Structure 1
Amino acid sequence: MKYNLPSNSLYGDEPIEISFPDNWDVHISEIKGFNTPELTADEIREGVASPIGAERIKDGARGSKSAVIIIDDITRPTPCEHIARAVIDELLEAGVPKENIWFVVALGTHGAMNRADFVRKLGDELVEEFEVHNHNVFFNHVYLGNTSHNVPIEINSDVMSADYKVAIGTTMAHSYFGFGGGAKCILPGVSSIRTITRNHSYTTPSDFNMGNPMTLMRNDAEQAARMMGLDFKIDVIINGHGEICKLFAGDFEAESRVCCEYAADHYSAKFVPDCDVVLANSYLKPAEACCAYTPEVIAPLRSGGDFILAANSPFGPCVHYLYDKWGHSAPGGLMWAGCYTKTAKMKNAIVFAEYTVKGMRDPWYIDEGSGAVYKRKWEEVLAIIDDGTPKKVVVYPMAEGQVLDNSHEFYPKKA
């Protein structure tokens, strides 16, 4: 059996062909919306012009002398160009001067982007025509007060200086926030290191909330977005080919509620139990492949089985000022809590990734020190796990953003 494994998000999105022996029982658990058709540029424009709970940008921005467009970074799969062009046209129609429209990349605590990254997100022309700035997590913030959970909210100064504020991102399941999208572009997106550290202290790397509709972290982010005056939010849904297949726009809370309800169905996938081999693929977030190394994905594996974590993108591993290791002798990032490790029930833990950086990769995949092995070619993976006997296999092609039908069983238990 052969299967085209989704790979290379924002780097051409070319899948990698993998194969399995004919005597293996292979289950491909794709998300429900895997083959939902891609939206055209005109359909994207129509979505931006049909807001939920807010005025159209061309009306809401009327009288504004400046505008900022916040976009997610290169570690997220959003193809922003067509959306950004629709937003810019509405801002210009509202009378905002072109020279007073700029972009800020919502890096949170991720490393800065370069020109090649900007072009992958926005296209060459927009990068040449408009100012594009990386968010600086360490400097230049405006303090706005504290949330009801006593999180101090400090937001990027260039974001706060704009009269009108728009943000663009993707919604999919997230192990900490429940779902991405919505206000996450603000906290952590354009918040200070102090704000993010306090907000992220509400969870640990072992917590699991994939598809959980409301978490404490998300609640704080929504308070922050309301405090800083986010005027308009656009969230997209991505199919199994890295394409925009649905778009929601408007007030960030109103559109996000509708978007998350749609996302829970779109990203739903079947839990397949009692497997000899589990392949969890991190397609949309390959730089943070550990997002696909979750309790619900490990649960199908029988004791003594083989676990494969796949993440293929030329971008390589993430740079992160909270959770990165930052050297073999250093204490790590501000919230460094150790690497994800091979579990006792795994005979083999294999990372199938062509592009990694030894030393940087362990926090974002599976720690070599715990017994994981790294392989760049599928043939090398098969050489380890194929012993000639029949096996039951499940492949989760989008494990980092899916909601399995038993995900709720793994949510943190309330006291």
Structure 2
Amino acid sequence: MAKIKIPYSKKHLEIDIPDYNLSAILESKTHIFKPKICQEEIIHQALDNPIGSASLEELVKGKKNMVIITSDHTRPVPSKITMPILLKRIRNANPDIDIKILIATGFHRPTTKEEMIQKFGQKIVDQEVIINHLSEDESSVVRVGTLPSGGELWLNKLAMETELLISEGFIEPHFFAGFSGGRKSVLPGVAAAKTVLANHCSEFIASEYARTGVTKNNPIHMDMLYAAKQANLAFILNVVINSEKEVINAFAGDSQLAHEEGCKFVMELACVQAVKADIVISSNGGYPLDQNIYQSVKGMTAAEATCKEGGVIIMVSACNDGHGGKSFYDNMANASSPREVLDRVFKVERTKTVPDQWEFQILARILDKHTVILVTDMCDPEIICNMHIQHAFTLDEALQKAFQLKGKNATITVIPDGVSVVIK
């Protein structure tokens, strides 16, 4: 009997799986990677050795103002560690520079003050100018050009008008952009809603290259690279974290070159071989990525990559913030089936993408071939069931439901952290 821990909110759930059922446990090596130096030293070392770029200190010299793009409340970027280091090094080099911190909300809701305090710490929230990007506020964005895909590129005015634009973030596998981090801080991070919608169109989401761990020929990634260049994103600090949200490596420098090096490192640790099974258990790695159903689709895609067609995906995710998007919820709940959602979304033109379309398209793709059981005691079951997902309050309850569907001898693959792996 195997006892396996699955991240859930800010704790773990345990499940006992009979040995004769268990096919594999798929985990990223990021969780066992042991750096030889502490987190702060890792970050300083990256900043001391920028990739393809002058140092941060050289870049800020002579500048009157700058903007630091940072991730929002849905991303576990350890800003309590990274941001103080960035601010100190910047001000040591240029004490008088005006710094604004711009939260890359993308298409998400604004980050609350309480979430800012949790993310940055009280001191930074009290002393620094922190601004939420609002993608639907047309007065806060400016047209920059046209994306390779043909969509209009509108970006935050603060980002475009500053003398120096840099960003902090983290790199992990991403279910349609290939990897997070780097260029994503600009698009979708500080892009207008219309730009995000064009980039996330159904045609691109359906591309065989818009998958976890893939950037080559990925149309979504190519748009994002273009946006970062047009924004003159001059420097990035991107970290790689383990399951405890601790920094295990960092990459700094040119927004494309440093990011590519970071992606190589993550790929070496995160890539695992698929082990097909009747039942696959996955998660979103716990808080903060498992706050809603919207974000939880990411962990489901990992399970999708190793689940037999017609199999059962058990998704462990708190979803304490509900569905995560009205359009996401409505388009699933108002459809008679996931197939209806897919048939409808494939007819939507690239320039007429609707909010959250990419998320309900991917969820419908998964549900069209698999039964999904969402495990949570923090979300209204009615919301879950309305979206064509089954609900269970506990892992044991979900497993019993899965056995009823696939039989007591069903094979099981477990992915304790579905957002940390690239399944090939």
After superposition, the C-alpha distances for 1:84-104 in whole angstroms (9 at most, x for unaligned) are 111101210221436x21211
TM-score by length of 2: 0.82
Tell me the equivalent position of 1:130: 128
The TM-score, its normalising length taken from structure 1, stands at 0.84
Q: Which of 11, 16, 40 in structure 2 is aligned with 1:19?
A: 16
Residue in structure 1 matched with residue 350 of structure 2 by the alignment:
none
The alpha carbon displacement at 1:183 in A equals 0.5
* Cα distance in structure 2, aligned partners of 1:324 and 1:390: 35
2:335 paired with 1:336: no
The answer for the alignment partner of 1:378 in structure 2 is 395
Q: Which residue among 36, 39, 45 is the counterpart of 2:33?
A: 36
Contact 2:200 2:220 in 1 (8 A): yes
- Corresponding residue SS for 2:233: coil
Residue 36 of structure 1 aligns to a residue whose secondary structure is coil
Q: Which SS does the other structure have where 2:42 is aligned?
A: helix
C-alpha distance in 2, partners of 1:328/1:306?
20
Q: Is 2:300–2:313's contact at 8 Å kept on the other side of the alignment?
A: no
What is the root-mean-square deviation in Å for CA atoms of aligned residues?
2.9
State how 1:7-406 maps to structure 2 within 5 Å: 7-8=8-9, 13-21=10-18, 23-37=20-34, 39-97=38-96, 100-139=98-137, 140-201=140-201, 203=203, 205-207=205-207, 208-214=210-216, 215-273=218-276, 275-283=277-285, 285-286=289-290, 287=292, 288-294=295-301, 297-298=303-304, 300-302=306-308, 305-312=311-318, 314-319=320-325, 323=328, 325=330, 333-334=354-355, 336=357, 338=360, 340-341=363-364, 343=367, 346=370, 348-357=371-380, 362=384, 368=386, 370=388, 372-386=389-403, 389-404=408-423, 406=424
Distance 1:164 1:358, change over 3 A: farther
Q: For residues 367 and 200 of structure 2, what CA distance do their matches in structure 1 show? A: 25
Distance 1:189 1:182 in 2: 10
What's the % identity of the aligned pairs?
A: 22
1:265, CA displacement in angstroms? 1.2
| 1:6 aligns to 2:13 (yes or no) | no
Cα distance in 2 for partners of 1:173, 1:80 equals 19
- Secondary structure (helix, strand or coil) at the match of 1:6 reads strand
Structure 1: stretches of 5+ with no match in the other structure:
407-415
Q: Which has the higher helix share?
A: 2
* Number of aligned residue pairs: 390
Q: Is the 8 A contact 1:326 1:333 kept in 2?
A: no
Gap regions ≥5 residues in structure 2: 336-340, 342-352
Q: 1:29 to 1:46 in 2, by over 3 A?
A: same
* Maintained 8 Å contact 1:67/1:96: no
CA distance in 1, matches of 2:318, 2:258: 32
Secondary structure of the 2:258 match is helix
Equivalent residues of 1:234, 1:248 under 8 A apart: yes
Contact 2:102-2:130 at 8 Å conserved across structures: yes
Question: CA shift at 1:59, angstroms?
Answer: 1.2
CA distance 1:297–1:70, shift in 2 (3 Å): same
What one-letter code is carried by the residue in structure 1 that aligns with 2:211?
Answer: N
Bigger shift: 247-256 or 225-234?
225-234
One-letter amino acid matched to 2:379 = T
1:257-286 deviation per Cα after TM superposition (whole angstroms, max 9, x unaligned): 11111121121123112x232112221632
1:163-193 superposed Cα distances (whole Å, 9 cap, x missing partner): 2211111112222211111111101100111
Secondary structure of residue in 1 paired with 2:281: strand
SS in 2 for 1:309: strand
Deviation at 1:7, TM superposition (A): 3.1
Q: Partners of 1:94 and 1:6 in 2: how far apart?
A: 41
Q: Which letter does structure 2 place at the counterpart of 1:5?
A: I
Return the offset for 1:317. 4.0
Task: Indicate if the aligned counterparts of 2:39 and 2:246 stay in contact, CA closer than 8 A.
Answer: no
Distance of 2:189 and 2:88 partners within structure 1: 24
Equivalent-residue separation in structure 2 for 1:248 and 1:163 (angstroms):
23
